[in-house]
Amino acid sequence: MNTSRHIYLQMKSLEEAQAIFFDRFSFDQYLRPESIPAQEAAGRVTAEPVFARFSSPSYHAAAMDGIAVRAETTFGTTVDRPKQLRIGKDATFINTGQIMPEGADAVVMIEHVVVVNEETVRIESAAYPWQHVRKVGEDIVATELIVPQNHLITPYEIGALLNGGVFDVKVKQRPRVLIIPTGSELISQQDLTSGTPPPGRVIESNSAVLGALIRACGGEYLSHPIVPDIFEEILNAVREATAGDADLVIVSAGSSAGSEDYTASVIAELGEVLIHGVTMMPGKPTVLGIIDSKPVIGNPGYTVSAIMAFEKFAQPLISRMLGIREPMRPKIGVRTARKVASKLGIEEFVRVKLGRVKDTVVASSLPRGAGSVTTLTEADGIIRIPNHVEGVKAGEPVEAELLKDLAEIENTVVVVGSHDNTLDILANQMRVRDFRFSLSSSNVGSLGGLIALRNGYCHAAGSHLLDTDTGTYNISYIKRYLPDLRVKLVNLVYRQQGLIVLRGNPKGITGIEDLARDDITFINRQAGSGTRILLEYELAKLDVTPEHIKGYDQEEFTHMSVAVNVLSGAADMGLGIYAAARALNLDFVPIVTEEYDLVIPEEFFEDEKIQLMLEVIRSQPFKELVRQLGGYDTSKTGTVLESL
């Protein structure tokens, strides 16, 4: 077996890959039918048309409580000329749903009936034929088509089936999908003997994610035990899977160009590789093949890539097997808060947060790492960037595919600017206080937040910009960058900024001056962030230039990312907040206590969702949760510091 690396020489576009793959299979009668009780048929697809066995209602029935009459006996009745009817001869008391008496063809509502005595009633208006009567077959007529073949049965249609006398219905069997997870680094949840995986091992989660997606689109799945990165073992697992009763086989991981990524070679040996490599991100390493007339998909190992590949290939395939149209997400027009770069020749699916600011739905891009599954859990939508453009300019109108309900997006507070851990707590507490509202935060740095406010792309900006001349925060920058916008400056927290270092501080770091040491590697924050401005201020006081700092040009957008770099050993230290260091059990060398504020335009200040956000900020539960993070002072939290 040749274990040399594969190279994507013949990558196809998404549309080409889908056409080549789907065209190789005939889906007529692909799945065998089975008969199930009608009560259990919701969510299943009909294998044949379903016709009513009898009519509903099967008799003339009263549609109201009242008296059943023959309409012509009431003609001429008015308020001035009321008519008396004899019970048992001219009229019969009747309840909703009861069978109409012989000869009766109308019901007078009980509200319009005056009881004279036990034998006589009086009415003051005439009835017309079939008034308040459900005639035979009004809903369903015997032999009428209730639902056609290849129809996804809804809960509403269960009643129609039962009322039409259909107690058993033939549906298509659910497509059976076998998932084969591969990777010597994988460990199952059941095999985890301690709280965390040992070094070099990761939890195998893709099977559970793909399995949930399979069930959601009408299939059923079975997960194979983990197969290590050994060609013969993967070969045997795939051979056994395609020889069994699975309708689709998904090999999870092992599809890229690495020397131990064997999926393409396995499919080639057992069948035919139709596609290896699709010009889309995430999901580029996808392998599409056929073995013994069965579709086989080599899914990328990174979770986001695996999900994207599933949605573009496996989900449509399952829909075609069932004979139904694949579900389509709604789309809306949006504008991007900042430039979104993209590679020519690659179609990118960018996860974004969304929120309406005045008349514009604003999209803020999330990190694009293929392994960052949280970017999908946080995402409100996806922007599709075609392969012939190099990205989307800030403010450019584009279309977003919605992952969440539009009403939720309409009620989202959009905060853009500097990162702080308390924003996550604020977002959660807003949902606790009123489930209708949510908060979306995007990390572009303090200055970027003010620019976003100026451009109308957010409701509030998180900022901690130090004026090095006065020692005050934010005010001078607001006057400089937002001269024509009236805003209120609301304190969120005071927080400790300092140097995040490894536990035990093995290199004996004591202050900013240590950045100039030859044995220290630094991780920086992006230009325009308040932390970067603070760093440059401190360096200027020490007369230390960036050229003397190893790693100065390596940037991250959040305090947590800085802390992760230190924890992983990629850097010896970074400037960030105490809460980030504490969260990852790192040590911290304090430098300064700084002011972190929310800049809110006055035009939004009385908005219901902004007022809810302020109520939460000022609440004791929020303040207590913030204090538990460590390194925060909430004495002025929620205070309007300035109106500018």
CATH number of this structure's domain 14-27+175-316, picked from the four choices 3.40.50.880, 3.40.50.970, 1.10.10.60, 3.40.980.10: 3.40.980.10
Average pLDDT over residues 166-183: 96
pLDDT digits 0-9 by tens, 71-130: 999 999 999 999 999 999 999 999 999 999 999 999 999 999 999 998 999 999 999 999
Domain(s) labelled CATH 2.170.190.11 in the chain stretch across 61-134
What's residue 529's pLDDT? 86
pTM of the model: 0.81
Q: Is 399 helix (H, G, I), strand (E, B) or coil?
A: strand
Could you tell me which residues are beta bridge partners of residue 70?
Answer: none
Question: Model confidence at 566, in pLDDT bands (50, 70, 90)?
Answer: very high
Q: Taking each helix axis from N to C terminus, what angle separates 14-22 and 315-322, rounded to the nearest 10 degrees? A: 40
Copy the structure tokens of residue 179: 């998932």
pLDDT digits 0-9 by tens, 524-538: 998 888 899 899 989
Q: With the C-alpha atoms ordered 573, 577, 581, 587, is the resulting torsion angle positive or negative?
A: positive
pLDDT digits 0-9 by tens, 461-494: 999 998 988 889 999 999 999 999 999 999 999 9
pLDDT at residue 365 above 80?
yes
What's residue 127's pLDDT? 95
Neighbouring CB atoms inside 10 A of 165's CB total 17
Copy the structure tokens of residue 3: 């274990």
What's residue 199's pLDDT? 81
Q: What topology does CATH give the domain 443-643? A: D-Maltodextrin-Binding Protein; domain 2 (3.40.190)
Question: Model confidence at 3, in pLDDT bands (50, 70, 90)?
Answer: very low
Domain(s) labelled CATH 3.40.980.10 in the chain stretch across 14-27+175-316
Average pLDDT over residues 321-333: 92
Domain(s) labelled CATH 3.40.190.10 in the chain stretch across 443-643
pLDDT at residue 580 above 60?
yes
Q: Is 554 helix (H, G, I), strand (E, B) or coil?
A: coil
Copy the structure tokens of residue 555: 């940037």
Going through 502-639 in order, the beta strands assigned E by DSSP cover 522-525, 555-556, 573-577, 587-601, 632-633
How far is Cα 382 from Cα 354, in angstroms, rounded to an integer? Answer: 10
How is domain 61-134 classified at the architecture level of CATH?
Beta Complex (2.170)
What percent of the chain has a predicted confidence (pLDDT) above 90?
Answer: 75
For the chain, give the number of residues.
Answer: 644
Are 257 and 8 in contact, with CB atoms under 8 Å apart? Answer: yes
Q: What topology does CATH give the domain 331-403? A: Beta-clip (2.40.340)
Average pLDDT over residues 437-449: 88
Q: What topology does CATH give the domain 33-56+138-172? A: Molybdopterin biosynthesis moea protein, domain 2 (3.90.105)
Q: What angle do CA 56, 60, 66 make, to 5 degrees?
A: 120
How far is Cα 310 from Cα 177, in angstroms, rounded to an integer? Answer: 12
pLDDT digits 0-9 by tens, 226-250: 999 999 999 999 999 999 999 999 9
Are 282 and 371 in contact, with CB atoms under 8 Å apart? Answer: no
What's the mean per-residue pLDDT of the chain? 91
Domain(s) labelled CATH 3.90.105.10 in the chain stretch across 33-56+138-172
Could you tell me which residues are beta bridge partners of residue 439?
Answer: 413
Neighbouring CB atoms inside 10 A of 377's CB total 9
In angstroms, how far is CA 567 from the centroid of its own chain? 30
pLDDT digits 0-9 by tens, 389-437: 888 888 889 999 999 888 889 999 999 998 898 999 999 999 999 999 9
What percent of the chain has a predicted confidence (pLDDT) above 70?
Answer: 96
Question: Model confidence at 191, in pLDDT bands (50, 70, 90)?
Answer: confident
What's residue 5's pLDDT? 46
Domain(s) labelled CATH 2.40.340.10 in the chain stretch across 331-403
Question: Model confidence at 4, in pLDDT bands (50, 70, 90)?
Answer: very low
What's residue 255's pLDDT? 53
How far is Cα 557 from Cα 580, in angstroms, rounded to an integer? Answer: 13
How far is Cα 413 from Cα 356, in angstroms, rounded to an integer? Answer: 8
How far is Cα 100 from Cα 390, in angstroms, rounded to an integer? Answer: 73
What's residue 1's pLDDT? 45
What's residue 2's pLDDT? 46
What's residue 426's pLDDT? 95
Average pLDDT over residues 555-560: 89
Are 473 and 599 in contact, with CB atoms under 8 Å apart? Answer: no
